[in-house]
Amino acid sequence: MNDKLLDILKEHDDLSEQQLLDYLKGNLSAEERHEIEMRLSDHEMMSDAEEGLKMIDKKEDLNAITAQLNARLTEQLRTRRKKKLKEMPNQSFIILTAFIILVLVVIAFMVIYKMQRR
């Protein structure tokens, strides 16, 4: 699995999770805030993340909350991957069944062909 999928707010076009958190906490200069706002206007996903994190009342909890969200996302992605891997034997069974049917059809054809030649 692609590890980049596991951390939703990791580096996105040079806008890191930490920069976004600093922006929300108000720890940036006016120039840095403007630069972050310009980047957010260009990237819908980061803008959505900013809007969601902005709803949190206690800004000091932002780091813990984003870590918790990343952990949940990681667990959900791993669970989905495990389910996909469990589905593979069913596909193998279907392929094996199709192969056996094909072999039986070929054998039946050969038997019928030989019976007609006699």
Q: What is the pLDDT of residues 14-24, one digit of tens each?
A: 677 788 888 88
The answer to whether residue 44 is domain-embedded is yes
- The segments of the chain whose pLDDT lies below 50 read 1, 11
**61: its two tokens:** 């909890």
**Residue 19 burial class via C-beta count within 10 angstroms: exposed 0-12, middle 13-18, buried 19 and up:** buried
The answer to whether residue 94 is domain-embedded is no
The residue type found at 10 is K
The whole-number pLDDT of residue 88 equals 62
The answer to whether residue 100 is domain-embedded is no
Domain count for the chain: 1
The answer to whether residue 109 is domain-embedded is no
Find the domain containing 32 and state its range: 3-87
The answer to whether residue 64 is domain-embedded is yes
The answer to whether residue 18 is domain-embedded is yes
pTM over 0.85: no
The whole-number pLDDT of residue 100 equals 97
Residues 109, 111, 116, 117, Cα dihedral to 10°: 110
CA-to-CA separations, 19 to 2, 33, 69, 70, 97, in angstroms, rounded: 23, 9, 17, 16, 55
Residues 95, 97, 103, 104, Cα dihedral to 10°: -160
The answer to whether residue 49 is domain-embedded is yes
Residues in the chain: 118
The whole-number pLDDT of residue 108 equals 96
The answer to whether residue 62 is domain-embedded is yes
The whole-number pLDDT of residue 1 equals 47
